[in-house]
Amino acid sequence: MHTRPVIGVPTQTLHTLPGIPGTMPASWVMSHRYIRVLASLGAVPIMIPLLDDDADALRGIYDTMDGLFIPGGADIDPASYGAERHPRCEEGDPPRDRVELSLLRLALEEKKPVFGVCRGVQLLNLAAGGSLYQDIADQFIGCIKHDYFPFDGQYQRDYLAHHVDVTGETRLGDIVGSATMPVNSMHHQGIRDLAEGLVATAYAPDGLVEAAEGSGDHFLVGVQWHPEVLIENHPANKRLFTSFLDAAVHYREARQSDVLAS
C-alpha cells in the first residue's frame, strides 16, 4: 500500500482560458505546474472533473482524498455568492465554482486538510461565509497594483511584486518563519470581508488580506500568491506544500485508526 497522500485538484473548463476558440470540444484542464509540484513533494495528485450535476460522483472522489488543493484560475462568478457582476469581473467558470465550493464545505465540516492559492484563498473565504472584491483597483481605495499578470511576456510568473507582513503565532507564521516575505501577485480580485472562523495571517502593504487560515487545529490555509512557482528559490513557499502534505498524511492515519477502532 502506498504511503503518499492522495491530493485532489479541481480542474477548470477549457473554454474559460484566454485565447481558446469556442469550437474546441468541452474539456477540463489544469496547469501542469500544480500537479508536478505536488507529485515532486510526495503526493499522489488526482485531477477532479467538474461534475457539478452529480453529487454522488463528487462525494466518491472526495472520499478517496487525504487533502484538497484549490488552485488559481478564472474569476469567481459573482452569482456563485449572490452578488451583482462588476463590469471588470470576467466570465468565470460557474461549474468549477460549484464543485470547489461543494468540496470545500465538505472539507470544512469533516476537517480534511485544505490548501488554496490565489483563487483558492478567495474560494475558501466564500465557502466559510466571506465576501470578495470583484476588482481591487476599482473597489479598494488606496490599493497598490496586484495584477502583475504574465500576459504577453510583460511579467514572469515568479516576479516578486511586493512583500507581505505575516502575522506571528499563526500556522502560516510557524511555516514561513518570518515576519515578512516577498511574493508574486497575479490577481485582480481579493478578500473583502473575512469569513467568521477564519483568521487573516498576512497582509499586503495596502492592507489587503493576502493569507487566511482556520482558527482551530484543522489545516485550512490559503494564500493569495502563487507559491508553486517560488519553491526553488524561496524555501518558505516549499514548506507551505510540505506542511500541507504532512497534514494530509496525519489525516489519513487518523481516519484509518478510527476505522480499525470501530
Annotated catalytic residue 162:
no
Alpha carbons 101 and 68: distance in angstroms, whole number: 12
Q: Is 47 helix (H, G, I), strand (E, B) or coil?
A: strand
DSSP state of 76: P
Among 162, 218, 226, 234, which one carries the catalytic annotation?
226
Alpha carbons 62 and 75: distance in angstroms, whole number: 24
Cell numbers for 185: 501577485
Contact 220, 213 (CB under 8 A): yes
Among 118, 187, 188, 210, which one carries the catalytic annotation?
118
Among residues 61, 259, 39, 71, the alpha carbon closest in space to that of 251 is found at: 259
Annotated catalytic residue 2:
no
Annotated catalytic residue 143:
no
Cell numbers for 16: 474559460
Among 100, 210, 213, 228, which one carries the catalytic annotation?
228
Helix (H) or strand (E) holding 91: none
Helix (H) or strand (E) holding 12: strand 12-13
Q: Which residues are catalytic?
A: 118, 226, 228
